[in-house]
Amino acid sequence: MERYGTIKINLAKLIEESGMSKNKLSHRAEMQRTQINHYCNNTVTRLDIDVLARLCTVLECEIGDLLEFIPPNADIEQR
């Protein structure tokens, strides 16, 4: 899959910038904290559009703020 690039989830960065705790985010977005941790650690393999919509709504961000495409030829340091 690396030859096609990858999608990076910037949730941890957005949480930090917002000053919101993971607990508060999990409550407002009606998600389990473990699920938020998986998104923060980029360990999800299938993105759920409902979850993405919840996160964007609660964090007041755009989908492009949350997801980033890393091209296959990108320097490993960017990941």
67 pairs with which residues across the strands? Answer: 9
Domain that holds residue 68: 2-78
What is the per-residue pLDDT across 25-72, written as a single tens digit (0 to 9) for each? Answer: 999 999 999 999 999 999 998 999 999 999 999 999 999 999 999 998
Dist. CA 20–CA 8, nearest whole Å: 21
pLDDT at 30: 97
Look up the CATH number of the domain holding residue 30. 1.10.260.40
pLDDT at 43: 96
What's the number of domains the chain is made of? 1
Q: 52 versus 73: which is more confidently predicted? A: 52
| pLDDT exceeds cutoff 80 at 1 | no
As given in the structure block, the two tokens for residue 39 are 């998104």
